[in-house]
Amino acid sequence: MKLIVANWKMYLTLRESIALANKVTRYTLHVTRYTIVLCPSFVAMEEVAKVIKGTQIKLGAQDVEPEKRGAYTGEVGLDDLRELGVEYVLVGHSERRRMGETDKLVNQKLKAVLKSGMRPILCVGESWKIRRSGKARGYVADQLRAGLKSVTQKDLKRVVVAYEPIWAIGTGRPDTPKDASEMHMWIQKIIRDISIFANKNRDVPILYGGSVNAKNAGTFLRAPGVDGLLIGRASTQATEFAHIIRSA
Ligand code: PGA
């Protein structure tokens, strides 16, 4: 089943998040073709969890602190997320990497999420400069190998990867479905290289993210190798998101 992940980033207040969660719950009532995951802000998470309770919508987090508990001012820990019923956690989003998150920390977070029984969504993707220089594949492969370092074969099956070219995020300039598809095939190959189960059953789904909207969502979802979408801005507008779900 394809996965559609809504990353609300810091676009919405608590009240707006509750209102949107209510709307999404209503119009996805009969959607069975997709797994839909909402990633609200930490502040909105508890209330959104109440709204989606009993529906097929799942709760996701935008980030996490990998240390168990303790003196980590301002951070949000794994136990809190688990208590709220979070099932998916974004790790290594480029907006966090931009603030100094290293591959090593991304790997720590990913392993901590797995250990807590949740599923990490490992975000990878190159800058425009790298894409232009023809080195995108190597760059993404390095991010994958570093992010998945020393993850057990069993745990690997619970990982989700999101390919999000940085230059396509929030710019209104998405990758072409053809190029995205080629990168997804490449990512499949890298995963096959590090995995004994060879990802035959697509146990590691690969999502595309970066300026997905109602117009292009269907084309991306039909592109070979694309197992779902990670959507930012367009997922925060109720009608746009509804169109995406329907067009998909
Ligand atoms: P966007 O963001 O859909 O607004 O481009 C995608 C993301 O960062 O996950």
Bridge partner residues of 3 (DSSP) = 35, 228
Average pLDDT over residues 128-152: 97
Amino acid 8: pLDDT: 98
CATH code at 96?
Answer: 3.20.20.70
Pocket test for ligand 1, best of 122, 123, 167, 211 (most atoms within 8 A of CB): 211
Atom index in ligand 1 nearest the CA of residue 95 equals: 8
Beta-strand runs (E) in 58-198: 58-61, 86-91, 119-124, 160-163
Separation CA 174–CA 77 (nearest Å)? 33
- Verify whether ligand 1 is closer than 6 Å to residue 7 (CB atom): yes
Known catalytic residue at 87: no
Amino acid 29: pLDDT: 82
- Verify whether ligand 1 is closer than 6 Å to residue 23 (CB atom): no
Q: Name the domain count of the chain.
A: 1
Mark the binding-site residues for substrate, compressed into ranges: 7-9, 170, 211
Known catalytic residue at 65: no
Sign of CA dihedral 66, 101, 131, 38: positive
Separation CA 22–CA 18 (nearest Å)? 6
Q: What is the pLDDT of residues 85-133, one digit of tens each?
A: 999 999 999 999 999 999 999 999 999 999 999 999 999 999 999 999 9
Atom index in ligand 1 nearest the CA of residue 162 equals: 9
Q: What is the pLDDT of residues 4-20, one digit of tens each?
A: 999 999 999 999 999 99
Separation CA 201–CA 163 (nearest Å)? 19
Of residues 65, 95, 126, 164, which has the active-site annotation?
164
Atom index in ligand 1 nearest the CA of residue 235 equals: 3
- Verify whether ligand 1 is closer than 6 Å to residue 230 (CB atom): yes
Percentage above 70 pLDDT, the chain:
97
Average pLDDT over residues 41-56: 97
Going by pLDDT thresholds of 50, 70 and 90, the confidence category of residue 144 is: very high
Amino acid 30: pLDDT: 81
Amino acid 102: pLDDT: 97
Phi and psi for 119 in degrees, rounded to 5?
A: -105, 120
Amino acid 200: pLDDT: 61
Of residues 93, 95, 184, 243, which has the active-site annotation?
93
Going by pLDDT thresholds of 50, 70 and 90, the confidence category of residue 31 is: confident
Going by pLDDT thresholds of 50, 70 and 90, the confidence category of residue 32 is: confident
168 three-state secondary structure: helix
Q: What is the pLDDT of residues 176-234, one digit of tens each?
A: 999 999 999 999 999 988 877 666 656 799 999 999 999 999 999 999 999 999 999 99
Question: Ligand 1: distance of its center to the CA of 32 in Å?
Answer: 24
Residue 35 domain boundaries = 2-247
- Verify whether ligand 1 is closer than 6 Å to residue 233 (CB atom): yes
- Verify whether ligand 1 is closer than 6 Å to residue 124 (CB atom): no
- Asked whether the predicted pLDDT for residue 38 surpasses 90, the reply is yes
- Verify whether ligand 1 is closer than 6 Å to residue 123 (CB atom): no
User: Could you tell me the pTM of the whole model?
Assistant: 0.97
Compute the mean pLDDT over every residue in the chain, rounded to the nearest whole number: 95
